[in-house]
Amino acid sequence: MNTLHINTPRKLVYFFAMALLVFTVGESSGNPLPPPAAEEAQPTMHNYLIGPGDSVNIIVWRNPEVSMSVPVRPDGKITTPLVDDLPASGKTSSQLARDIEKALAKYIQDPVVTVIVTGFVGPYSEQIRVIGQAAKPQALPYREGMSLMDVLIAVGGITEFASGNKASIIRGVGEKQQKLAVRLDDLINEGDISANTPMYPGDILVIPESFF
């Protein structure tokens, strides 16, 4: 009896120690406990970049004579009465405003500039291009949160000769280029929202012709 009372606590301690060891090994092995469900990744905020063909409204505080709306030329530059050939393409409106302030500082003391983009085209590298059997193939300015459905609405859908479920998105350039299959027929004809997918700046949507 004395032996039983002395050894039982030791056995219990040994049992719990082994259980803890097994649990710890399981955590570090190839079969860990399933982690808690991760929250869906939030899309990265996209800052609009000015491109050739955009119109920008330049407002210089307390200096209306140099405040005006100007187009961004095909070479990506703008010209104002006191600023010649200032690069604008590829910049945000805030970045362009700071550059204009630096240029105007030669003529105006402590200029305060605000730039508002009033015509949206965007730089060529960020435009969404739709080629092939779209009703209106074209290049579209990228919009924050743009989806495949938004692109199809903008181009008027696909033609009757399109092989929609064999369409693809070409994403990236050079060695990082990817070709992603998309199902336009399922999205348009069946209303299958799972076939909708986010679009990214510079994507090319290729819609092939059906030969059957």
Mean predicted confidence (pLDDT) in 195-211: 96
pLDDT at 11 over 60: no
126 phi and psi angles, rounded to 5 deg: -110, -5
pLDDT at 39 over 50: no
**Per-residue exposure over 29-39, b if at least 16 CB sit within 10 Å of its own CB, e if not:** eeeeeeeeeee
Mean residue pLDDT of the chain comes to 85
User: Which token pair is 199?
Assistant: 């679009």
Domain boundaries, the chain: 55-119, 127-207
* 55-119 and 127-207 share one fold: no
pLDDT, one tens digit per residue, over 121-145 is 999 999 999 999 999 999 999 999 9
Count other C-beta atoms under 10 Å from residue 184's C-beta: 23
The SS3 call for residue 97 is helix
Backbone CA torsion sign across 195, 189, 170, 124: negative
Predicted TM-score (pTM) of the model is 0.71
pLDDT at position 175 is 77
CB-based contacts of 162, cutoff 8 Å, min separation 6: 132, 133, 134, 184, 207, 208, 209, 210
Q: How far apart are the first and last CA of the chain?
A: 90
pLDDT above 70: percentage of residues in the chain: 79
Cα–Cα nearest to 151, from 106, 203, 190, 112: 203
Pick one of 1.10.287.70, 3.40.250.10, 3.10.560.10, 2.60.120.560 as the CATH number of 127-207: 3.10.560.10
pLDDT at 12 over 60: no
CATH classification (class only), 55-119: alpha beta
Backbone CA torsion sign across 8, 13, 18, 19: positive
| pLDDT bucket at 24, cuts 50 / 70 / 90 | very low
Burial tier of 72 (Cβ tally within 10 Å: 0-12, 13-18, 19+) = buried
